[in-house]
Structure 1
Amino acid sequence: MQRTIQKKSLCQFKRYHSTNRKLEGYEFYNKILGSPKYIVGPMVEQSELAWRILSRRYNAHLCYTPMFHSRLFSDPINGAKYRSEQWTTNAADRPLIVQFCANNPETLLTAAKYVEHECDAVDLNLGCPQYIAKKGRYGSFLQEDWETIYKLISTLHKELIVPVTAKIRVFESVEKTIEYAKMIESAGAQMLVVHGRVREQKGHHTGLADWTKIKAVKEAVNIPVIANGNILYHDDLQHCLEQTGADGIMSAEGHLFNPTLFTPLSLPPMTYDIAQEYLEICKQLKPITRPVIIKSHLFKLFHASFPVHTDLRDRLGVCFDVDEMVRITNELTERLKKEQQAAATKKEEVVVNDDNIRIYAPWRCQVSK
């Protein structure tokens, strides 16, 4: 089914770029993106091509690239190096949205022009809450500067051959959140991803996303709305769709711990099976996925096993060689299979902790405690 969606989207992409009319709103969402329900979000150095390929195998309908910095991407001196390291795609990598952070319309447009023929839309990051975003004045730290946001979006809307979309966080007030979303829509955004947390909800203060604010935005605008936040398990997907009325669901961090999140399974898959599959994809790509990215994925996939297998955790921590990462994965795979065999006579128990997190056997993919 997913291969059919990808093939259909690629054909639509070719037709889309051969015409002078840029599709907008639901026409864009349905005809170009294929009405995606399950979406892998943009994650810095984590939603790279290899991960997107893996994600599409497990029912991801649409993928975002990692967030790219528009100034670095378009830099006349060092931009080529940055793009070669960060920006990788192929013909099967569709539908695809490229995300940038920016605070200058001309710089953003220059960066977006490099990718407009190889993607289905360009997204503006208005959601990043990290200190680096505050220091660089982008992401959620632009959300009080509506004039700049309007210029950023309207510039891309007028100048690109593909649509512009945006990913936002909510305000404390529902009314201000709605006003904000309507402003972004009026600037020319053709789809809106709404993360139901305020800017201050991060790190140890993450808390729950507010789905009621996502619902309010969905009811207030006339473009597709994607819900983001509180998606840990497959059954969360339908709950979120029902409660928000959103057109689709985006998962970011939760998807890193279990890339089969969008696939209905009675139990999560084995960590080592997913890690082996991901590594095979990485090895097949030219250029191969950068080791620092591979390492980060392996740490998340194996996080439940590493507190026991600390020697392999330590080896991975200082490793920058892909072949060594494969050896570490193979060794851990053998150990986990032995643990499974030893526990074969027992029924696998699922424990729910005080934070309502499901804890599975350590050889299964699962979110972090």
Structure 2
Amino acid sequence: MIAKRGHYGAFLQEEWKLLQKMIVLANEKLSVPITCKIRVFPEIGKTVKYAQLLEEAGCQLLTVHGRTKEQKGPLAGVASWEHIQAVRKAVNIPVFANGNIQYLSDVEQCIQKTGVQGVMSAEGNLHNPALFEGRNPVVWEMAEEYLEIVQQYPCPLSYVRAHLFKLWHHTLQVHQHLRDELAKVKTLEGLVAVNRELKLHCQEEIANLKEDEKPKGGLPFFHWICQPYVRPGPKEVCKENGTSGMEGSTRGKRALEDEDDGNSDGLSKNKQKKKLRNPNKSFDPSLKPKYAKCDQCGNPKGNKCVFNLCRGCCKKRAFRETADCPGHGLLFKTKYEKSLSWKNGQSSLENIEVTAQKGEVEETILLKEAIDGVA
């Protein structure tokens, strides 16, 4: 959504001429190889033309993510290796593939099918950092190693928390109380403590494991083993493995089409946090204040806008007409008048300096004549 609003990333892929100029300029200004990463179009032919255009513009290494820009979140689906293979055959620069990489065997299959020179992994590597080693270690081994690196090279706590949520994803479906703890802690030491507690719970489960017991929830391994996470579809109720409360119980993700009715029981985690900060806050859509609409685009208009427009439309009109809108803090007219005043002031100063210089020359001539007369 952010990339779509900002018109960058995959949402810039329709601006072919602009992308050409950007790559050409980057080659002129930078002394490093220019690499690009793209998502595919639904049509293989258009994807190939797009890749060839980038190569001609000066791209020296191309990574192709085999999904369209619409294939995100629950709509991700399977990446198309056919698109990647077509691009690899059509260009002369190195091509890397991205998509469908969950195990090391997938890397080998991808290279064989597409002929690419390299393979990238995003979510697969986040859930199992040992993916490219061909291992599936216990989760706490990777978590402890990661936390040691963070202690040596500090970074924002939100980054660390996000990585731990990925690593512990399957286990946190079982020990949900620790999921909440992981979300609430404010220090690195707190994250380490939660990680230690999760480790103890898992070790206790391993000690009590029955001989013929199999992983729950359709997982290939037990939840404490690093393994991929397959996103559920938009209408699929994802039954995660877990035992919270009673044996064999499962935790399903809230369906995307469910509507919040203002009650805390149906609220998302984010809204529940807001409710804790402000107990009187209501999420009932019928109680939301009604805003007057912008005369042009329909977005809420500024209450003090002189044009009865939203900020975006007001800014365009004020710029076009060189006008002011104090309600939105836009002062195009005032700034223009100040710039004219400044320019006129500069011209007056230049005239004064020229006059002064002429006066000095005339005074010098008169003085010279007087000296000559005395002589």
TM-score, scaled to structure 1: 0.60
**2-structure distance, mates of 1:160, 1:283:** 34
Shift of residue 352, structure 1, vs aligned partner: 8.8
C-alpha contact 2:103 2:134 (8 A) present in aligned 1? no
C-alpha contact 2:42 2:68 (8 A) present in aligned 1? yes
Q: How does 1:1-369 map to 2 (within 5 A)?
A: 131-265=1-135, 268-285=136-153, 288-343=154-209, 346=211, 349=214, 353=218, 358-369=219-230
Q: 313-322 vs 240-249, which deviates more?
A: 313-322
1:262-320 superposed Cα distances (whole Å, 9 cap, x missing partner): 0123xx110011100100010011xx121101101111111111122122111111122
C-alpha contact 2:96 2:118 (8 A) present in aligned 1? yes
**2-structure distance, mates of 1:333, 1:223:** 46
TM-score, scaled to structure 2: 0.59
Helix, strand or coil at the partner of 2:159 = helix
What's the Cα RMSD here? 1.5
Which has a greater percent of strand?
Answer: 1
C-alpha contact 1:292 1:320 (8 A) present in aligned 2? no
One-letter amino acid of the structure 2 residue matched with residue 325 of structure 1: L
One-letter amino acid of the structure 1 residue matched with residue 104 of structure 2: H
Shift of residue 347, structure 1, vs aligned partner: 5.5
- Quick one: higher RCO (CA 8 Å, sep 6+), 1 or 2? 1
C-alpha contact 2:216 2:222 (8 A) present in aligned 1? no
- How many residue pairs were aligned? 230
Q: Which runs of 5+ in 1 are unaligned?
A: 1-130
1:114-165 superposed Cα distances (whole Å, 9 cap, x missing partner): xxxxxxxxxxxxxxxxx11110010111111101111111111121111110
C-alpha contact 1:272 1:333 (8 A) present in aligned 2? yes
Shift of residue 351, structure 1, vs aligned partner: 7.3
Shift of residue 183, structure 1, vs aligned partner: 0.5
**2-structure distance, mates of 1:352, 1:318:** 27
Helix, strand or coil at the partner of 2:132 = coil
Q: Which runs of 5+ in 2 are unaligned?
A: 231-375
C-alpha contact 1:352 1:359 (8 A) present in aligned 2? no
